[in-house]
Amino acid sequence: MSTRNYGFSLVELMISLLLGTIITGAIIQVLVSSQVTNNLNQAVAEVQESGRFISIRLTKELIEAGRYDSLSASIDKSVDTVVEEAWVQNRPIALPGDFAASAELGSIQGASGANDSVVISMLDTEDCAGNQHGYGGDEFHVVNHFQVSGEQLTCTGYDGRVLRGLKASASTSSSVVLLDNVNSFQLQYGVSDRAETSLGQPITYVTAEALPALRDNFQQVVAIRFGLLLSSYDDQVTQTVAPEFAVLNENKKTLDKQHYYQVFTKTVALRNVKNFVRSSR
């Protein structure tokens, strides 16, 4: 008896190929979707981690504005520390024109949505870049300048005594990068009532250009509110709609679709200035 061999017909082969193509396409789509989701999650995590870090770092730096402990045994006394204490406590937020040796240095409100900058004074053993300016660990008038350059938030530290023209520089001022991918850095200042009636609480929040007139009216900055718009690294995500963000008082901006963006804001009470304002009533 002869045996007949049976195989797949052409129709059966075509159906099998079609089903295989559909299944393969579905698997590829799942893998692509998973990769997109993973990239987005990674971008979100990185931006949020950066936001937490810089919020803590800036809070730690800004909260010291106006600090001057005249009873500290470690203050370098090569200048008149009584005058220096009064200078720091009355100008915790430095403005352009405050420093004889660098008249342009001061807190600035960026024009038309540009980045702001802030300059603070305090008593410390080193500036934000870790420079002791030749004092060997003794405390002195430290000036720190926070600004954005090329999407990097930086801090440049100075010897306030050199800036005031009281002594020659013992070392070169240097900068340190605090954070990358900063698309906007904005600031508002909580200002107290006049010194004779103030309880050390902010009664209004203003931008830097309003501070000279308020200082002349014996009103003091007792809080700083900062806002940062941070982005993920290039090509991590592709959004379907261009996002829009506004940081503090600035107008809303439309951004690109190739990054994940998030705004971080925080208000820092300047406890040293608040205590100084209350005690001077």
Q: Is 52 exposed, middle or buried (0-12, 13-18, 19+ CB in 10 A)?
A: exposed
Region of 165 on the Ramachandran plot (φ > 0 left; ψ -120 to 50 alpha; else beta): left
Residue from 155, 132, 152, 134 nearest 142 by CA:
132
For the whole model, what pTM was predicted?
Answer: 0.85
Structural contact between residues 210 and 220, judged by C-beta atoms closer than 8 angstroms: no
Q: Which of 86-90, 143-147, 150-154, 241-245 has the lowest mean pLDDT?
A: 241-245
**63 — pLDDT class (breaks 50, 70, 90):** very high
Q: Considering the domain boundaries, does residue 57 fall inside one?
A: yes
Average pLDDT of the chain, as a whole number: 89
Residue 80 in any domain: the answer is yes
pLDDT in tens, 17-46: 777 778 777 776 665 556 666 777 888 899
CB atoms within 10 A of CB 261: 21
Which pair of tokens denotes residue 92?
């915790």
Q: Is residue 254 part of a domain?
A: yes
pLDDT tops 70 at residue 60: yes
Altogether, the residues listed in the chain come to a count of 281
> Which of 213, 204, 197 shows the shortest CA–CA distance to 278?
197
Does some domain include residue 244? yes
The reply to whether 266 falls in a domain is yes
**Is 177 within a domain?**
yes
Q: What pLDDT shows up at residue 24?
A: 75
Residue 20 inside a domain? The answer is no
Q: How many domains does the chain have?
A: 1
Domain membership of residue 64 as a residue range: 42-279
In a domain? residue 5 = no
> What pLDDT is stored for residue 171 in this prediction?
87
Pairwise CA distance, residues 75 & 81, whole Å? 8
Residues 106 and 94: beta-carbon distance below 8 Å? yes
Q: In a 3-state reduction of DSSP, which class is residue 102?
A: coil
Q: How far apart are CA 41 and CA 19, in angstroms?
A: 33
Rounded to an integer, the average pLDDT of 167-180 is: 93
